Chains A and B, each alone.
Chain A
Amino acid sequence: MRALRFALAAFLRDARGGELGVLAGAIIVAVTALTAVGFFTNRMALGIREQAGTVLAADLRLESGRPLEADGPYVAEARRRGLAATRLVGFASVVVAGGTTQLASVVAAGKGYPLRGSLKLAPAPFAPGVASRGLPAPGEAWVDPRLLARLGVAVGGELALGAERFRVSAVLDYRPDQGTGFQDLAPTILIPAGDVAATRLVQPGSRATWSLLFAGPADAVEGYASWLRAHKSDAERLIDVGESSEQMKSATERAGRFLNLAALVTVLLAAVAVAMGARRYATRHLDTAALLKCMGASQGFVLRVTVLELTGVALAAALLGTLAGFAAQAGLGYLVRGLVRGDLPPPSLAPAALGLGTALVMLVGFALAPLLQLRQVPPARVLRHTLEPPPLRYGLPYLVAVATLALLLIGLVRDPRLIGYAAGGIALAGLALFGAGLGLVRALKRLRGGAGIAWRYGLASVARRGRESAVQIVAFGLGLTVLLLLVLVRNDLLGEWRRTLPPDAPNHFLINIEPADAAPLADLLVAHGVPRPALAPWVRARLTAVNGAPLKTRMPKTDRGRAFAEREQNLSWSATLPADNRVVEGRFWEHPDPRRPEVSVASEFQEELGLKLHDRLTFDVAGDTVEAEVTSVRKVRWDGFRPNFFLLFAPGVLESSTGTLMTSVHLDAAQRPLLTELVRRFPSVTVFDVDALISQVRDLVDRAALAVEYVSAFTLLAGLVVLLAAIQATRDERRYESAVLRTLGASRRTVLLGVAAEFVALGLCAGLLAAGAATAIGWLLATRLFGLGYSLDATVWLAGIAGGVLIVGLSGTLAARDVVTSPPSRTLREG
């Protein structure tokens, strides 16, 4: 009780006296960043979810080989939960027009389809499509341009589907769920669901796929998905947004990483500032603590007072930070208002709790060590001022602090690898900066002979403070590193990311190319100004066994895994590791031995099927059995839109199997009409237009980039707080020194110049080191974490040195100005 009253008084006093500025500032920035990011990632997630949902034409999709009723219990439950629902039936059928027959994939859509995204219709085959609402009227069909081209039917013409005739009322340019999985190869014809019966093509036992589509608010969808998982049968497959598109997922993951990284670095930097602030707090309270103990306060009492006071600081700062976070995310919402459609989730209290938790962890974690020291200050310090508490063992408390913070962040970000990189990076950079800083300080000692008094005094100060100066260089360096990373490297990284989807990224996949057609098809493309495409071999097969055990005995648990296992696999082979691929486990073959077949699997495939290196996979390739050993696992960047395969064989295994070739090319709007000629001349070839998907991914990247810029503003603030903390660190000492110097007759100008010289020297060292650190970190981030290329940049060095000298020199001198100008008598009297 007494401690509480004391602490409250001390808090008010210290707050009034500006003692808590850096400490509170650091916590406020961290909490603001975390809550804002917390709120915002919610919104981002929603936006991305919607974006990704367009690939499913819904938020959730249930597929089955047996009829799913539009008025069954699933739909009833969905409606009860406020979700929109509709139904699709898909089946393959022959379409007849004027004596020509073609295989088509029929999609019969119920009212409301598509629930996400929209259909695009064109007035003529391969003309640009326009988004439109609604569905074909009864008796009408919207038809894929490839099908029209092959049938020779124009808009307004008629075609027969089973027992019914349909009038072609529009060209179906795009439907959101047309997919990129190459599963539905035949071109689509879209008819209203009510007309299915009249075709008499779908009978009990027919081969068809029934789908139920659901969409609604995120939490309702989530709730319904888990309900559905519990109630559906194994034969019914639930697909959610996460697995709808590898490309979308790839981009989403990277967006989340960028955002989380910005938030993480903010928190870690703020932690550095808190540690520095706490150190200063402790130093400044040594005398008071000694006095309290001298007057009879116990160690526990001193500790309680300090802890309580700082808890007060944490609470106040967390409150302010949370409020600022609310405000910040509102600003963010405004920034991206055009991009996020639909209702944003109402602000929940979770981010606020998170903010409070972070504030406490940071304070307890990073301030505890110096505070424990306060408790141990010898009371005899009141008689002999030089008596210090026993030296700190920083190791353990800081280790505990870092571990706690890491746990908190893991809970938040759920990406231990990212946290490892960020924390390890900052720790390494800190250590390197400290070492280099010590070296530079030593070097400065030799330099001080020549220059004028101000320089001599300034450099002497840097050298005399030794370790303290090195710590300051670390703090300045960290702050500058982050500024550099933000200003220069971030742009490079984001630009690099945008470049993964250049304007000429492949937007059409051509698949099912007969080997005999390969050369003439390539010639046709080249004749129309398309660069000669690289063709990848493509063989379809079924996975039958793993390590000799039939697949049936080791079916994966998840729907996605089962789908992976059961579907026809797309196999290819290559002598070299394709671009966009990175080996994460094992080794990619260099000199494969055809007698020992090797296969490399994509990480998604490996995870879903629970495969390990050296597992033997058995495939049924058109009746032949092929067995191969898994010798590497690849991480594939799907968002590059080039042909990539879950299963890649070494050369010499599949060449004899019947297969086709595939490729991807970029066609601009003017080149698209060549597709009409292409599908006529090479009827077996299937063309996939992924333009719409590309623009979805591009949109996502742009949106995420904007968000990252916003969030990194907080990182910037955190960097500035660290700079401020470093400037504050030597303030008291400097105040005393300058008072002494001025009493000895130095002019205010000389003292100020001396201080400026000191900060310029520190800034120079820190800037130099920061440029090195930023370059190293930028390279690491780009290559290790984001799988992007990174080119060295000389401007980083220039900016680092100039920024160090200017920012540290100027702000340090400015901040020290009042120290220098306050009357020396006052300073000396206060001691």
Chain B
Amino acid sequence: MQVLESRHVSKEVSSPDGTLTIVDDVSFAVERGQSLAIVGPSGSGKSTLLAILAGLETPTRGAVFLNGHELTALDEDGRAALRARRVGFVFQSFHLVPSLTALENVMLPLELAGLADAAATARGALDAVGLGARLGHYPRQLSGGEQQRVALARAFVGRPDLLFADEPTGNLDSATGAKVAELLFGLNRAAGTTLVLVTHERELARRCDRVLELDAGRLVGGNAAP
């Protein structure tokens, strides 16, 4: 079954030199449990496409379906509600809330979804990324790799159907990056989550079931068909 489908998605922005097409007629679909890498040079529109797929932004044309729901037909709050139940995120720059402890950061999506037992669940998730001893630490007391592990725990704690990751290792040295990647794929396998990963690291992309290549907003290669 298709968890995510992109149908003729385009994004245009107006700039001083006329209309700029950032994402150009992108269509593809992702099956449940699959992992998909989107690669391409810097500025090719990867992050923009990811934002549209996750409903953070709206496309200029085309439609996105998440679990069969037309995401692009919903308003911002509707999209947010869908995300709260089905979607997790990992970002290049971690995006932990600086004034929350590791535990509180991981509890955040659970509390937003109104789940009981948030603390216990979150503790389990932090244990799973090997940070069970750092529950009370604030982001500034953690190394970059540790912060990203907290972010991973936060992304998986709500058992999302779909995980979006934008350059999850981009801010880390290669050794730490490798460790975080290991953890990401491990958790993904264990939870059976569908993964959409934006990266320009070939190594990381190769570990995914499929790779899509983007250039100047267009799909130019990779195994576009499932």
Q: Which residues of A are at the interface with B, using a C-beta cutoff of 8 A?
A: 2, 5-6, 9, 13-14, 16-17, 19, 287-288, 291-301, 378-380, 382-385, 826, 829-831
What residue of chain B has the Cβ atom nearest to residue A827's Cβ?
Answer: B140
The docked-state distance in angstroms from the alpha carbon of A5 to that of B81 is 19
Contacts of B98 in A (CB 8 A): 830
Are A297 and B84 touching (Cβ within 8 A)? Answer: yes
Q: Hey, what's the 0/1 contact readout for B73-107 against A, CB within 8 Å counting as 1?
A: 00011001111110101010101011110001000
What residue of chain A has the Cβ atom nearest to residue B166's Cβ?
Answer: A383
CB of B47 within 8 Å of the partner chain = yes
Closest 9 CB pairs of A and B: A296-B84, A380-B56, A298-B77, A380-B51, A296-B83, A13-B99, A379-B56, A380-B57, A383-B47
- Picked from B77, B89, B114, the residue with its CB within 8 Å of the CB of A295 is B89
14 residue pairs of the A-B complex, CB under 8 angstroms, read A17-B99, A287-B95, A288-B97, A291-B97, A293-B80, A294-B54, A294-B83, A294-B89, A295-B109, A298-B76, A380-B56, A380-B57, A383-B56, A383-B91
Known: A14-B99, A382-B56, A383-B166. A298 touches B144 (CB 8 A): no
A828 to chain B, nearest CB (A): 11
List 12 extra interface pairs beyond A298-B77, A826-B140, CB under 8 A: A14-B99, A291-B97, A293-B76, A293-B80, A295-B109, A296-B82, A299-B76, A299-B77, A380-B57, A382-B56, A383-B56, A384-B51
- Picked from B56, B82, B99, the residue with its CB within 8 Å of the CB of A378 is B56
Contacts of A384 in B (CB 8 A): 47, 51
- Picked from B57, B80, B100, B109, the residue with its CB within 8 Å of the CB of A13 is B100
Per the 8 Å Cβ criterion, residues 105-152 of B in contact with A are 108-109, 111-114, 139-140, 144
The docked-state distance in angstroms from the alpha carbon of A379 to that of B112 is 15
CB of B50 within 8 Å of the partner chain = yes
Interface centre among A291, A293, A296, A298 (most CB of B within 10 A): A296
Contacts of A382 in B (CB 8 A): 56, 89, 91, 95
The docked-state distance in angstroms from the alpha carbon of A287 to that of B50 is 18
Q: Hey, what's the 0/1 contact readout for B12-52 against A, CB within 8 Å counting as 1?
A: 00000000000000000000000000000000000100110
The docked-state distance in angstroms from the alpha carbon of A298 to that of B99 is 21
The docked-state distance in angstroms from the alpha carbon of A5 to that of B93 is 27
Contacts of B104 in A (CB 8 A): 9
Are B56 and A294 touching (Cβ within 8 A)? Answer: yes
What residue of chain B has the Cβ atom nearest to residue A12's Cβ?
Answer: B99
A299 to chain B, nearest CB (A): 6
The docked-state distance in angstroms from the alpha carbon of A508 to that of B71 is 90
The docked-state distance in angstroms from the alpha carbon of A300 to that of B81 is 12
Are B80 and A298 touching (Cβ within 8 A)? Answer: yes
The docked-state distance in angstroms from the alpha carbon of A405 to that of B135 is 45
Are A297 and B80 touching (Cβ within 8 A)? Answer: yes
Contacts of B87 in A (CB 8 A): 296
Are B80 and A296 touching (Cβ within 8 A)? Answer: yes
Looking at chain B's contact residues, the main secondary structure is helix
- Picked from A19, A826, A831, the residue with its CB within 8 Å of the CB of B93 is A831
- Picked from B50, B81, B93, B139, the residue with its CB within 8 Å of the CB of A296 is B81
What residue of chain A has the Cβ atom nearest to residue B97's Cβ?
Answer: A288
A831 to chain B, nearest CB (A): 6
B146 to chain A, nearest CB (A): 12
Contacts of B139 in A (CB 8 A): 830
- Picked from B54, B111, B144, B166, the residue with its CB within 8 Å of the CB of A6 is B111
The docked-state distance in angstroms from the alpha carbon of A379 to that of B81 is 13
How extensive is the interface on chain B, given as a class? 20 to 34
Contacts of A380 in B (CB 8 A): 51, 56-57
Interface centre among B76, B80, B82, B83 (most CB of A within 10 A): B80
Contacts of B111 in A (CB 8 A): 2, 5-6
The docked-state distance in angstroms from the alpha carbon of A665 to that of B113 is 85
Are B81 and A383 touching (Cβ within 8 A)? Answer: no
The docked-state distance in angstroms from the alpha carbon of A379 to that of B104 is 20
Known: A17-B99, A830-B98. A378 touches B83 (CB 8 A): no
Contacts of B93 in A (CB 8 A): 385, 831
A378 to chain B, nearest CB (A): 7
What residue of chain B has the Cβ atom nearest to residue A14's Cβ?
Answer: B99
Are B80 and A378 touching (Cβ within 8 A)? Answer: no
A380 to chain B, nearest CB (A): 4
A731 to chain B, nearest CB (A): 15
Known: A378-B57, A382-B89. A295 touches B112 (CB 8 A): yes
What residue of chain A has the Cβ atom nearest to residue B92's Cβ?
Answer: A383
Interface centre among B93, B95, B140 (most CB of A within 10 A): B95
What residue of chain A has the Cβ atom nearest to residue B142's Cβ?
Answer: A829
Interface centre among B50, B104, B111, B166 (most CB of A within 10 A): B111
Contacts of A830 in B (CB 8 A): 98, 139-140
Interface centre among A301, A378, A379, A826 (most CB of B within 10 A): A379
Are A300 and B77 touching (Cβ within 8 A)? Answer: yes
A535 to chain B, nearest CB (A): 79
The docked-state distance in angstroms from the alpha carbon of A2 to that of B89 is 22
Are A829 and B89 touching (Cβ within 8 A)? Answer: no
The docked-state distance in angstroms from the alpha carbon of A383 to that of B54 is 11
Contacts of B99 in A (CB 8 A): 13-14, 16-17, 19
A289 to chain B, nearest CB (A): 11
- Picked from A296, A300, A831, the residue with its CB within 8 Å of the CB of B112 is A296
- Picked from B51, B77, B84, the residue with its CB within 8 Å of the CB of A383 is B51
What residue of chain A has the Cβ atom nearest to residue B113's Cβ?
Answer: A296
The docked-state distance in angstroms from the alpha carbon of A236 to that of B139 is 80
Contacts of A6 in B (CB 8 A): 111
Interface centre among A301, A380, A384 (most CB of B within 10 A): A380
Contacts of A378 in B (CB 8 A): 56-57
Are B76 and A296 touching (Cβ within 8 A)? Answer: no
Contacts of B140 in A (CB 8 A): 826, 829-830
Interface centre among B81, B100, B112 (most CB of A within 10 A): B112
The docked-state distance in angstroms from the alpha carbon of A287 to that of B80 is 16
What residue of chain B has the Cβ atom nearest to residue A288's Cβ?
Answer: B97
What residue of chain A has the Cβ atom nearest to residue B47's Cβ?
Answer: A383
The docked-state distance in angstroms from the alpha carbon of A294 to that of B112 is 11
Contacts of A9 in B (CB 8 A): 104
B193 to chain A, nearest CB (A): 16
B139 to chain A, nearest CB (A): 7
B82 to chain A, nearest CB (A): 8
B96 to chain A, nearest CB (A): 9
